[in-house]
Amino acid sequence: MNSRERFLATLRCETVDRPPVWLMRQAGRHLPEYRELRKEHTFHTLVKTPELACEVTMQPVRRYDMDAAIIFSDILVIPEALGQPYHFREQGGIGMEFKVDCEEAFEKLSSETVEDHLAYVTGAIRNARKECGDTKALIGFGGSPWTLATYMVEGGSSKTYHLAKQIFYRERELFDRLMELITEATIRYFRMQIEAGADVVQVFDSWGGVLAPDIFWDASG
Protein backbone atom coordinates (compact mmCIF):
# COMPACT_ATOMS: atom_id res chain seq x y z
CA MET A 1 0.00 0.00 0.00
CA ASN A 2 1.60 3.27 -1.08
CA SER A 3 0.92 6.70 0.37
CA ARG A 4 -1.85 7.66 -2.04
CA GLU A 5 -3.63 4.32 -1.66
CA ARG A 6 -3.35 4.60 2.12
CA PHE A 7 -4.72 8.16 2.12
CA LEU A 8 -7.68 7.41 -0.16
CA ALA A 9 -8.52 4.19 1.68
CA THR A 10 -8.59 6.12 4.96
CA LEU A 11 -11.04 8.62 3.47
CA ARG A 12 -13.26 5.67 2.55
CA CYS A 13 -13.02 4.47 6.19
CA GLU A 14 -11.24 1.31 5.11
CA THR A 15 -8.62 -0.56 7.13
CA VAL A 16 -5.06 0.58 6.40
CA ASP A 17 -1.61 -0.55 7.52
CA ARG A 18 -1.08 2.73 9.40
CA PRO A 19 -2.71 6.17 9.50
CA PRO A 20 -1.60 8.44 6.66
CA VAL A 21 0.52 11.38 7.77
CA TRP A 22 0.32 15.00 6.62
CA LEU A 23 0.18 18.39 8.30
CA MET A 24 -2.29 21.20 7.76
CA ARG A 25 0.50 23.69 6.97
CA GLN A 26 3.29 21.59 5.56
CA ALA A 27 4.98 24.17 3.38
CA GLY A 28 6.44 27.36 4.72
CA ARG A 29 8.57 29.21 7.19
CA HIS A 30 10.29 26.33 8.98
CA LEU A 31 11.78 24.88 5.77
CA PRO A 32 15.19 26.31 4.79
CA GLU A 33 14.46 25.60 1.12
CA TYR A 34 11.28 27.65 1.39
CA ARG A 35 13.11 30.52 3.07
CA GLU A 36 15.59 30.54 0.21
CA LEU A 37 12.74 30.98 -2.27
CA ARG A 38 11.24 33.77 -0.16
CA LYS A 39 14.48 35.71 -0.43
CA GLU A 40 13.79 36.04 -4.15
CA HIS A 41 10.00 35.99 -4.40
CA THR A 42 7.02 37.49 -2.58
CA PHE A 43 4.30 35.25 -1.15
CA HIS A 44 1.93 36.31 -3.91
CA THR A 45 4.49 35.49 -6.57
CA LEU A 46 4.94 32.01 -5.13
CA VAL A 47 1.18 31.44 -5.06
CA LYS A 48 0.53 32.81 -8.55
CA THR A 49 3.42 31.12 -10.37
CA PRO A 50 2.46 27.47 -11.00
CA GLU A 51 6.05 26.22 -11.13
CA LEU A 52 6.97 27.93 -7.87
CA ALA A 53 3.73 26.91 -6.12
CA CYS A 54 4.38 23.31 -7.15
CA GLU A 55 7.95 23.50 -5.86
CA VAL A 56 6.80 24.80 -2.47
CA THR A 57 4.06 22.16 -2.38
CA MET A 58 6.54 19.34 -2.91
CA GLN A 59 9.33 20.54 -0.60
CA PRO A 60 7.94 19.01 2.63
CA VAL A 61 6.96 15.81 0.81
CA ARG A 62 10.54 15.36 -0.36
CA ARG A 63 12.00 16.22 3.03
CA TYR A 64 9.64 14.28 5.31
CA ASP A 65 8.09 11.71 2.94
CA MET A 66 4.54 12.80 3.81
CA ASP A 67 1.69 10.66 2.52
CA ALA A 68 -0.05 13.69 0.99
CA ALA A 69 0.95 17.01 -0.54
CA ILE A 70 -1.17 20.12 0.09
CA ILE A 71 -1.20 22.59 -2.77
CA PHE A 72 0.51 25.84 -1.82
CA SER A 73 -2.10 28.60 -2.03
CA ASP A 74 -4.28 30.83 0.16
CA ILE A 75 -7.99 30.87 0.98
CA LEU A 76 -8.17 34.54 -0.02
CA VAL A 77 -7.63 33.80 -3.70
CA ILE A 78 -11.45 33.59 -3.93
CA PRO A 79 -12.13 37.17 -2.76
CA GLU A 80 -9.35 38.34 -5.05
CA ALA A 81 -10.87 36.47 -8.00
CA LEU A 82 -14.20 38.14 -7.19
CA GLY A 83 -12.58 41.57 -7.39
CA GLN A 84 -11.32 42.24 -3.86
CA PRO A 85 -7.50 41.96 -3.67
CA TYR A 86 -5.73 41.22 -0.38
CA HIS A 87 -2.33 42.01 1.09
CA PHE A 88 -0.34 41.44 4.25
CA ARG A 89 -0.33 44.29 6.73
CA GLU A 90 3.03 45.52 8.00
CA GLN A 91 1.81 45.12 11.59
CA GLY A 92 0.60 41.60 10.87
CA GLY A 93 -2.61 40.07 9.60
CA ILE A 94 -4.52 40.43 6.34
CA GLY A 95 -5.81 43.60 4.72
CA MET A 96 -8.37 43.75 1.91
CA GLU A 97 -8.46 46.53 -0.69
CA PHE A 98 -11.92 47.60 0.52
CA LYS A 99 -14.74 46.46 2.81
CA VAL A 100 -17.82 44.75 1.42
CA ASP A 101 -20.11 46.42 3.94
CA CYS A 102 -22.67 48.09 1.68
CA GLU A 103 -24.46 47.70 -1.65
CA GLU A 104 -22.01 49.94 -3.48
CA ALA A 105 -19.06 47.79 -2.40
CA PHE A 106 -20.91 44.56 -3.24
CA GLU A 107 -21.46 45.79 -6.79
CA LYS A 108 -17.69 45.82 -7.29
CA LEU A 109 -17.67 42.01 -7.07
CA SER A 110 -18.27 39.54 -9.88
CA SER A 111 -17.86 35.78 -10.30
CA GLU A 112 -17.90 35.85 -14.11
CA THR A 113 -14.17 35.28 -14.56
CA VAL A 114 -13.33 33.15 -11.51
CA GLU A 115 -11.87 30.33 -13.61
CA ASP A 116 -9.64 32.72 -15.56
CA HIS A 117 -8.42 34.45 -12.41
CA LEU A 118 -7.60 31.16 -10.69
CA ALA A 119 -5.96 29.37 -13.61
CA TYR A 120 -2.63 29.65 -11.78
CA VAL A 121 -3.96 27.36 -9.03
CA THR A 122 -5.01 24.66 -11.47
CA GLY A 123 -1.65 25.02 -13.19
CA ALA A 124 0.11 24.40 -9.88
CA ILE A 125 -2.12 21.40 -9.16
CA ARG A 126 -1.42 19.85 -12.57
CA ASN A 127 2.31 20.25 -11.99
CA ALA A 128 2.07 18.80 -8.49
CA ARG A 129 -0.07 15.91 -9.73
CA LYS A 130 2.71 14.96 -12.12
CA GLU A 131 5.28 15.05 -9.33
CA CYS A 132 3.06 13.14 -6.92
CA GLY A 133 2.27 10.54 -9.58
CA ASP A 134 0.31 7.57 -8.33
CA THR A 135 2.29 7.25 -5.10
CA LYS A 136 1.43 10.47 -3.20
CA ALA A 137 -2.00 12.00 -2.55
CA LEU A 138 -2.69 15.63 -3.42
CA ILE A 139 -4.98 17.83 -1.33
CA GLY A 140 -6.66 21.00 -2.59
CA PHE A 141 -8.45 23.45 -0.32
CA GLY A 142 -10.49 26.60 0.09
CA GLY A 143 -12.15 28.69 2.77
CA SER A 144 -15.71 28.31 3.97
CA PRO A 145 -18.15 31.03 2.83
CA TRP A 146 -18.47 32.44 6.37
CA THR A 147 -14.72 32.58 6.93
CA LEU A 148 -14.17 34.31 3.58
CA ALA A 149 -17.06 36.69 4.29
CA THR A 150 -15.46 37.82 7.55
CA TYR A 151 -12.35 39.00 5.74
CA MET A 152 -14.39 40.57 2.96
CA VAL A 153 -16.79 42.47 5.21
CA GLU A 154 -14.28 43.43 7.91
CA GLY A 155 -11.71 44.53 5.36
CA GLY A 156 -9.15 42.06 6.65
CA SER A 157 -8.23 40.24 9.83
CA SER A 158 -10.46 40.92 12.84
CA LYS A 159 -10.59 40.11 16.53
CA THR A 160 -14.28 40.85 17.09
CA TYR A 161 -15.98 40.16 13.70
CA HIS A 162 -18.33 42.99 14.64
CA LEU A 163 -19.05 44.16 11.09
CA ALA A 164 -19.63 40.65 9.74
CA LYS A 165 -22.10 39.88 12.51
CA GLN A 166 -23.75 43.28 12.08
CA ILE A 167 -24.33 42.66 8.37
CA PHE A 168 -25.77 39.23 9.20
CA TYR A 169 -28.26 40.62 11.72
CA ARG A 170 -29.11 44.04 10.24
CA GLU A 171 -28.64 43.67 6.49
CA ARG A 172 -29.58 40.06 5.94
CA GLU A 173 -30.44 40.41 2.26
CA LEU A 174 -26.99 41.84 1.48
CA PHE A 175 -25.34 39.18 3.63
CA ASP A 176 -27.20 36.36 1.88
CA ARG A 177 -26.30 37.71 -1.56
CA LEU A 178 -22.65 37.88 -0.57
CA MET A 179 -22.73 34.32 0.74
CA GLU A 180 -24.40 33.08 -2.43
CA LEU A 181 -21.68 34.74 -4.52
CA ILE A 182 -18.88 33.25 -2.41
CA THR A 183 -20.51 29.82 -2.37
CA GLU A 184 -20.98 29.74 -6.14
CA ALA A 185 -17.37 30.80 -6.74
CA THR A 186 -16.05 28.28 -4.21
CA ILE A 187 -17.97 25.38 -5.75
CA ARG A 188 -16.56 26.24 -9.16
CA TYR A 189 -13.10 26.57 -7.64
CA PHE A 190 -13.30 23.15 -6.00
CA ARG A 191 -14.42 21.58 -9.27
CA MET A 192 -11.42 23.17 -10.97
CA GLN A 193 -9.09 21.67 -8.39
CA ILE A 194 -10.54 18.17 -8.72
CA GLU A 195 -10.45 18.32 -12.52
CA ALA A 196 -6.81 19.46 -12.37
CA GLY A 197 -5.81 16.42 -10.31
CA ALA A 198 -6.50 17.01 -6.61
CA ASP A 199 -7.59 13.80 -4.87
CA VAL A 200 -9.67 15.68 -2.33
CA VAL A 201 -10.48 19.25 -1.32
CA GLN A 202 -10.52 20.47 2.26
CA VAL A 203 -12.73 23.29 3.55
CA PHE A 204 -11.16 25.57 6.15
CA ASP A 205 -13.82 27.16 8.36
CA SER A 206 -11.28 29.07 10.41
CA TRP A 207 -13.73 31.48 12.03
CA GLY A 208 -16.79 29.26 12.34
CA GLY A 209 -16.17 29.14 16.07
CA VAL A 210 -17.07 32.81 16.53
CA LEU A 211 -20.68 32.04 15.61
CA ALA A 212 -23.20 31.09 18.29
CA PRO A 213 -24.48 27.51 17.88
CA ASP A 214 -28.03 28.67 17.12
CA ILE A 215 -26.96 30.78 14.11
CA PHE A 216 -24.06 28.70 12.77
CA TRP A 217 -25.94 27.09 9.89
CA ASP A 218 -27.78 30.26 8.88
CA ALA A 219 -24.58 32.31 8.88
CA SER A 220 -22.51 29.60 7.19
CA GLY A 221 -24.46 29.72 3.95
41-89 pLDDT, tens digit each: 999 999 999 999 999 999 999 999 999 999 999 999 999 999 999 999 8
Amino acid 28: pLDDT: 84
pLDDT at 94 > cutoff 90: yes
How many CB atoms lie under 10 A from the CB of residue 60?
A: 23
Q: What pTM, to 2 d.p., does this model score?
A: 0.94
Amino acid 163: pLDDT: 95
User: In terms of residues, how long is the chain?
Assistant: 221
Query: What is the C-alpha to C-alpha distance for residues 56 and 49, in angstroms, rounded to an integer?
Result: 11
Task: List all residues 6 or more positions away from 194 whose beta carbon is below 8 Å from its beta carbon.
Answer: 140, 201
8 Å CB contact between 210 and 103: no
Catalytic residue numbers, as ranges: 25, 29, 38, 74, 151
pLDDT at 221 > cutoff 70: no
Average pLDDT of the residues in 132-147: 97
CA distances from 37 to 41, 47, 52, 60 (A): 6, 12, 9, 14
